Amino acid sequence: MTITHAEENYLKAIFTIAEKEAGPALTNAIAAQMQTSAASVTDMLKRLSDKQLITYEKYRGVQLTEEGGRLATALIRKHRLWEVFLVDKLGFAWDEVHELAEQLEHVQGNDLVSRLDSFLGYPKFDPHGDPIPDAEGRWTFRKQAPLATLKAGERGIVTGVDDHSTTFLQYLDQLGLILGAELELLERFPYDQSVRVRIRDGRELILSDKVTQNLFVKIS
């Protein structure tokens, strides 16, 4: 069975949505993610269902079959390993690698992914802090929460982002809030839920509610 790049991208989108919603992916959500019309999504769902990669009930949404889930996981694994390669080995910034990895994830080759994985030292997280499934499709999860949930006086370490947009990643770079950065929440302003934090070099920053909702930290 050959699977096109477009089909692979749909499987990945369905996987991501189902994970976020903790349930079946609805057609509208898939259309929004793929930036296409509901009609073209319906066409594609028919093809994926013919290939037994998804089960699809009208109005109830889409679920990946075991094989569909396996393919989606493999694709996410490739994507994130390529992102690690681009950042760690080629020196790209964390906001520059997603589009490149979108292309590289479709490259097929015997052993390519396992060699890449071993070359990189079997990383468990990508440059944005997202987990990389291993060759058996097992995920490593860690305890993290949005910075917005921290209380005054608590300390945290930046572990990931919910918003992967270039503008957000570049903004975090400017602030010095990269993965692994340590911070302490000093106070929260009731007016707009913005917060004042101190980062490791002693600098204090005011962060908007939007930033604290989209930045994951591990409470230390």
Q: Which is nearer to Zn ion, 120 or 219 (CB)?
A: 120
Does the protein bind Zn ion through residue 78 (CB under 5 A)? no
Which of these, 66, 64, 100, lies nearest to 83 by C-alpha position?
100
| Residues in Cβ contact with 4 at an 8 Å cutoff, skipping those fewer than 6 apart | none
Q: Which two tokens stand for residue 91?
A: 């020196």
CA 198/CA 175 separation, integer angstroms = 11
Site for Zn ion, residues 152 to 211, rule: CB under 5 A? none
* Minimal distance, residue 100 CB to Zn ion, in Å: 9
Query: Buried b / exposed e across 121-139, counting CB within 10 Å, b at 16+?
Result: eebebbbbbbbbbeeeeee
Does the protein bind Zn ion through residue 98 (CB under 5 A)? yes
Q: How many positions of this chain bind Zn ion (CB under 5 A)? A: 2
* Minimal distance, residue 79 CB to Zn ion, in Å: 6
| Residues in Cβ contact with 12 at an 8 Å cutoff, skipping those fewer than 6 apart | 72, 75, 76, 79
* Minimal distance, residue 102 CB to Zn ion, in Å: 7
Of the candidate spans 15-23, 60-68, 97-105, 179-187, the one that interacts with Zn ion by CB under 5 A turns out to be 97-105
* Minimal distance, residue 83 CB to Zn ion, in Å: 5
Does the protein bind Zn ion through residue 77 (CB under 5 A)? no
Q: Which is nearer to Zn ion, 82 or 150 (CB)?
A: 82
Q: Which residues bind Zn ion (CB under 5 A)?
A: 98, 101
